[in-house]
Amino acid sequence: MTEKNEDNFERLDADHGCQNQGPIEKERRNTETEYEQRYSEYDNGYKTSYSLKKNQNKNSKLKKSLIVFLIIIGGMLILGLFGLNVKRALFSDDRGYEVDGPYLAALYVEGTILAGQVDTFGIATGYQHQWTLDKIDELMNDPENKGILLFIDSPGGGVYESDELYLKLNEYKETTERPVYAVMGSMAASGGYYIAAAADEIFANRNTWTGSIGVTIGTLYDISELLEKYGVKTVTITAGRNKAMGSSVEPLTQEQQAIFQSLVDEAYEQFVGIVAEERNLDLDAVKNLADGRVYTAKQAMELGLVDSIGTMEDAVYAMSEKYDLWDCDVIDIVYQDHSLWGNLFGSVKIPDLKSGDVSALLEVVEGGNRFPISYECELLK
């Protein structure tokens, strides 16, 4: 058989095989098509289910976010409604006082009479000057208030602050025509006596130390020779020969000493003038006793610096009797820090980490050379 015939036979066999396998192949193809359709339906169903779950999760997150947002808005509304109370609870410096009818205000001045006294945490400590002035203003505008009982337990303070408080007390008296009585605690010296002079009557406890009528600019230190001993040189650049007067690294000249003396002399004249005027004393007599010394209550009474030796109760009785104020309650008005911040940190003590003789010396020099002019008793401060 030739090669050509063999090829023809092979093609016939192939065609015959295809014809014989046609139904089987068709069935196989139908099966595959059906499988593909079912898989496609399953895949589409899975994708649809996954998409639904994804949308549900997305909606759930959106709902949670909306709830959180509403909670925040609600909290803000509550804070807005009760903001004043929240502020007082967290940061207020005093809770005020409640009165029901006429009253006498017992206003307390305790500690050094200076402005802006705070501790390491910025919490107000000791006497608060601006708060005291504001309280007197409130009392002036309160018709229920009938007088002030000024309790003083102070070694004095700054010239400016002492005079400002003195003037505010006089403003209260002139504006309201109500009485002011001063009651001295363990001490009412220098600036403490200065503010007491504004009172209509002064009561001193029998153990009170008062007086110390005078002015100080503090102690100025000159460590120029000490620096020279250790080979330390300093250069101070100024315009004006007295601009750096009081520096601890340069000796005071006679001219600079005279300048400082003129400052304290002027403040002294103001002090003795107020004592003479308020206590109805001769100016020369006041200058004789105003040499800076401290007096006992008995000595001060003999000199005319106080009116009576007694307590707060005695002063209340005397004021009530003289001005017919028997129906008045006595309300204590004393600065107290009731804020959350003050309660948390007000009693915390910060240790002094400085040590060594040099640190101690520099601290003394730094404090001494600020030379604040003051009505303050060195012995009692």
**How far apart, in whole angstroms, are the C-alpha atoms of residue 333 and residue 98?**
10
Would you place residue 286 in the very low, low, confident or very high pLDDT band (cuts 50, 70, 90)?
A: very high
Q: Quote the crossing angle between the two packed helices 159-176 and 129-140, to the nearest 10°.
A: 10
- Strand duo 209-211 + 294-296: pairing: antiparallel
Catalytic residue, candidates 92, 154, 162, 190? 190
Q: How far is CA 179 from CA 182, 201, 315, in A?
A: 10, 9, 11
pLDDT of residue 217: 87
Would you place residue 334 in the very low, low, confident or very high pLDDT band (cuts 50, 70, 90)?
A: confident
CA–chain centroid gap for 314, Å, is 35
Would you place residue 91 in the very low, low, confident or very high pLDDT band (cuts 50, 70, 90)?
A: very low
Catalytic residue, candidates 54, 243, 298, 354? 243
Q: Does 68 or 287 have the greater pLDDT score?
A: 287
**How far apart, in whole angstroms, are the C-alpha atoms of residue 262 and residue 218?**
14
**How far apart, in whole angstroms, are the C-alpha atoms of residue 220 and residue 366?**
10
- Pure H helices in 205-250: 224-229
354 as an active site residue: the answer is no
Kind plus residue range of the DSSP H or E element containing 296: strand 294-296
Quote the tokens at residue 133: 């002035």
Quote the tokens at residue 27: 């069935």
> 217: which DSSP letter?
-
**How far apart, in whole angstroms, are the C-alpha atoms of residue 144 and residue 176?**
11
Residue with tokens 């898989």: 39
Confirm if 145 and 139 have CB atoms less than 8 A apart.
Answer: yes
Quote the tokens at residue 234: 């300093």
Inform me whether the pLDDT recorded for 346 exceeds 60.
no
pLDDT of residue 378: 64
Nearest-5° Cα angle at 279, 275 to 283: 55
Q: Does 369 or 64 have the greater pLDDT score?
A: 64
Q: Does 268 or 335 have the greater pLDDT score?
A: 268
Quote the tokens at residue 198: 């504004």
pLDDT in tens, 41-57: 555 555 555 555 556 66
**How far apart, in whole angstroms, are the C-alpha atoms of residue 158 and residue 117?**
12
Q: How far is CA 208 from CA 3, 182, 197, 368, in A?
A: 146, 13, 16, 28
pLDDT of residue 275: 98
For the chain, what's the residue count?
A: 381
243 as an active site residue: the answer is yes
Inform me whether the pLDDT recorded for 340 exceeds 80.
no
Inform me whether the pLDDT recorded for 61 exceeds 70.
no
pLDDT in tens, 303-332: 999 999 999 999 999 999 999 999 999 999
Q: Averaging pLDDT over each range in 46-55, 192-201, 326-335, 340-349, which range is the top one?
A: 192-201
pLDDT of residue 228: 87
- Count CA atoms within 13 Å of residue 354 on its CB side: 8
Inform me whether the pLDDT recorded for 86 exceeds 80.
no
